[in-house]
Structure formats: C-alpha cells, structure tokens
Amino acid sequence: MKIILASQSPRRVFLLTQMGVEFEQIPSDFEEYFDDTKSAEEVAKELGLGKANAVAENNPDDIVIGSDLIVVIDGKQIGKPESVEDAKVRLRALSGRTHELICSVAVVCKSKNYSKALSESSFVTVDDLSEDFIAEYAATGSTLDKAGGYAIEHPLMKPHIKKIEGRKDVIIGLPTDLVSELLKDFDIDVEPLDLENGITSDEGFYK
C-alpha cells in the first residue's frame, strides 16, 4: 500500500514533502465545478473526494489524497483564473478586503472501503492594490494556477497581505493538520507543519 497525491499542484507536493510523507503523484482528471447553492465547505469536500476517487479507481489498494481550495468573497465561490484578464478582475475584487479560503483534504482507499473528507477555513485581508500592481502581478503568469489568482508568499504579493487569520497551509492549498488526522486512520503518524513564521526553506517555490 502506497500513498498517492491526486494533484498536479507543486504547492501540495511541497507541503506533503515537508511533512516527511513518502508518496507518488498522479494528477486527477476530475473536473472542478462550483455551486453557490451549497456551502463552500460542502463543495470543497465534494471536489476533494472527486479527485481522490478518480485516481483511486485505478489504484484501489492505495491511499489516495485529494484536495481542493475555494476562495469565497461576497458569498461567491471562486477558483483559478481562466486568463490574465480574469486574474486582474479577481485581484480587484480582493483589493482592500478580507476574504475566506476553504480547503479540503479527502482520503480514499477502495480496498478498505475508506472515504472521508474534512475542510478548514482561513481568512486573508489584502491591502489596497493599485492598477499598476495588478497589471504587474497578473503579467507574471503565476496567478493562473491558484485559487483567487494569488499566492501569499509570492515576492510581489507578500507585502500586500495585511492580515492572516487561521492556518497558512490552508491558504497555500493543503491543511497539513487534516492530512495528519486522516492518515492516523491508517496508523501513519506524521506531524502537521508549523508555518506561523512563514516558509523559509524554499521561498522561490512560490514564484
């Protein structure tokens, strides 16, 4: 039995590696969706389970981890930008405001009939962003693979993060406390990461 991360996210790979977990990476082809008739927590869990289940179908004896991150502002669920222009729209919406991020962790093991998902929230307050900054940051292209169109540790964005409430790993895309909790069901003991002082081992990872 091995552990599989059903994600192509380099940030999730980084966090899971920092936890000391040995795993293989098999990106899921499960299609993401949003549904504002449901809570963001419910949708995040559904998406995490969907991603894990899609990979577990061909790996029934393994422990498959899926995850999803949703940004919520004005009651609307937001995922990754579809273009640079879309990223600019999202950054304008976040400017000078506090928004919520909900991240799920789901674990599936078909042979053990195990399927469970948890979620956790954090809040980020962003400084007022000028049009020049928005254009400069969006032009980096690093906004396109991130929910909400930004990363808190990106060298350009980091100075504009005014306040964080909750765990940083939720915002980055993988709540390591939830990973630790779920893996305990398989007698796998790994400690969650403490990111209160920020990521220092690989700052360039967020560029």
Where in the sequence numbering do the catalytic residues fall?
A: 68
Dist CA 42 CA 138 (whole Å): 30
H or E stretch including 4? Answer: strand 3-5
H helices present in 140-202, as ranges:
168-172, 176-183
Would you call 184 exposed, middle or buried from its count of C-beta atoms within 10 A (0-12, 13-18, 19+)? exposed
Q: Residue 32 burial by CB count (10 A; 0-12/13-18/19+): exposed, middle or buried? A: middle
User: 24-31 — which CB contacts under 8 Å span 24+ positions?
Assistant: 26/55, 26/59, 28/52, 28/54, 28/55, 28/66, 29/54, 30/6, 30/54, 30/66
Q: List the beta bridge partners of residue 199.
A: none
Residue identified by tokens 């949003």 is 34
> Which amino acid, 167?
R
Of 18, 41, 103, whose CA–CA distance to 67 is shortest? 103
